[in-house]
Structure formats: C-alpha cells, structure tokens
Amino acid sequence: MKLPRRNFLHLAAAALPLLSRIARAQAYPARPVRIVVGFPAGGAPDIIARLIGQVLSERLGQQFVIENRPGAASNIGTEIVVKAPPNGYTPGTSYGMLVNQSFPVKTVPEFIAYAKTNPGKINMASAGSGSGPHVAGELFKMMTGIDLVHVPYRGSYWPDLLSGQVQVAFAPMPSSTGYIQAGTLRALAVTGATRSEALPNIPTVGEFVQGYDAIGWYGLGAPKDTPAAIIDKLNNEINAILADPTMKARLFALGAEPMPMTSAAFGKFMSDEADKWSKVIKFAGIKPD
C-alpha cells in the first residue's frame, strides 16, 4: 500500500555521509546530521525533535542539527528528505481539545450539545488542511454528527484561539500544556485512549464518545537507500533514549508517551494509521493544498 506521506511522515533524518555503504555503516555519523522538521519552531514536532537530537549528539559524538522546513502540512520537509542521497521510533502524543476561556462550555457533552444547536457557527483551527489536528477534529465531527467550520492556518493559530477569533482546536499536548496549566485555555479532553500523565484530571474524548482515539505521533525516518546497519544503529540509539527514565519523564511532562519500535513494527504502525485516517479523510473530503 502506498502511504500518504503528507500526513504521516513528520520527522526525517537526512544528509547522511556520502561514503560506501559498508564504510557509512561503520563510521556513521562521520559528520553532522540534519533532522528536517516539517513544522515551525516551537511546535510539538520541533520540541520533541530537539530533545531527541540533543541526546543523539551526546551519544554519537556528532551534532544533530534541527532544520525547520514548514509548509503544506509537512509536505515541504518530507520532500526534502525523500529527494535526499524507514526506520522509526514514535513518541505518541495526544491532542488536547481546547477552547477559549470565554466559550460557554466546560465539558465534551456540553460542547456537542452546543454545536448541535449552533451548526456551522463554531470555528475549528488547525495547522493546515490534512494536518494531524485537522483530521483529529474531523474524526470528532464524523463520530458526533456535528458541524464545525475548519479554519486552516499557515502560521500559528494560538493568538486567534486565545482571543476567541476561533473557538476550538485539537492541539498537540506538548504545545498545549503550558496554556492549560496557566489557565489561559480550557481543555475539555485529551484525544488519546488514556488520560495524560501530565494532566490526569482531564478526561479523554473516548469517555464521552465511545471508540474515539486520536494521537499525533512523530517518527524518525531516513532516505530510502540508507544502509540497514545505519538504520539499526539509529533505531537502537533512539530506543535507548526513549527508555531512559529522565527522557521519559521529560516527554511525559509534555504530554508525550514514548513508543519504541523496531523498523518493521513502525512500518506496520504507519500502514494501520493510513487505513484508519484514509476513512476520515474521505469523509471530510480533504484535498491536498
């Protein structure tokens, strides 16, 4: 199956040393490595990439440089790596279903009831058409039968959400936690199957909408012909980083849950995610920008 990389390949490592395959496997990394992030600085993918990249630099003795190449719901960053001379490790993150403090609902059932009596009058912000927050919101619409107006942003939607120009967003927890803890935005729920360890008092959407489960995840990939030995080396290093108690605590504090995987398991995970979200994309009529 051909995977829709616009939605599911969020982080990718590129610029591997141009040596023979055997030499590359033995010497890697022989020079700095780029981690291309298809989203702006300060967002959840960027925050996690910088955490992982810093520890990779310490463990492997070469700098892992974060390069933000946002645009087209991460397509621009993805294309850079696809064209450069999969393996994966996925910190999984729930989204927070966030509303402005002035919005007159405090629970998911209240939100659904309000939306049904005010169809087409609630604006839902996202980082772009087909982005993770967008399809998480579309899944919510599909399962509840409500009508929300999608407002895609090329830049940050946070100022408009804070001011009330848009009323709701399904935002990655690493970007949302500070607003929730400061009380500037109200979290109605988190979108994963289980509650956030960082904010355990916030319910899941699934507690009110049976079967709802949506996570954002950030995998690290490499160009197609990268030697298997390098893939295995990176896989082992990142799995070890994600298993480290200090790193796990830092990720949990951001609302992210480490999910170490083998390369093969990551491939199946992506395939399963593609099957699930293709149904939502078809329901919502989402088209490429």
Q: What is the pLDDT along the chain (289 residues), one digit of tens a residue?
A: 333 433 333 333 333 333 334 444 456 666 777 777 766 676 777 777 888 888 888 887 677 777 766 554 444 434 433 333 343 344 577 899 999 999 999 999 999 999 999 999 999 999 888 888 899 999 999 999 999 999 998 878 999 999 999 999 999 887 888 899 899 999 999 998 888 877 889 999 999 999 999 987 777 777 667 778 888 888 888 888 888 898 888 888 777 778 888 888 887 887 888 888 888 888 888 876 5
For residue 289, tell me if it sits in a domain: no
Burial per residue of 240-261, b for 16 or more beta-carbon CB atoms within 10 angstroms, e otherwise: ebbeeeebbeebeebbbbbbbb
Instruction: Look at residues 192, 214, 236 and tell me which one is the last residue of a structural domain.
Output: 214
d(CA 85, CA 226): 8
- Are 253 and 188 within one domain? no
C-alpha closest to that of 190 among 165, 174, 173: 173
- Are 194 and 115 within one domain? yes
- Are 173 and 32 within one domain? no
Instruction: Look at residues 194, 214, 234 and tell me which one is the last residue of a structural domain.
Output: 214
- Are 86 and 104 within one domain? no
d(CA 8, CA 107): 30
Q: What's the domain count of the chain?
A: 2
Instruction: Look at residues 156, 184, 214 and tell me which one is the last residue of a structural domain.
Output: 214
Q: Determine if the peptide bond prior to 29 is cis (ω within 30°).
A: yes
- Are 166 and 102 within one domain? yes
- Are 178 and 267 within one domain? no
**CATH number of the domain bearing residue 115:** 3.40.190.10
- Are 116 and 207 within one domain? yes
Domain limits for position 125: 94-214
pTM of this prediction?
0.66
C-alpha closest to that of 103 among 55, 168, 149: 168
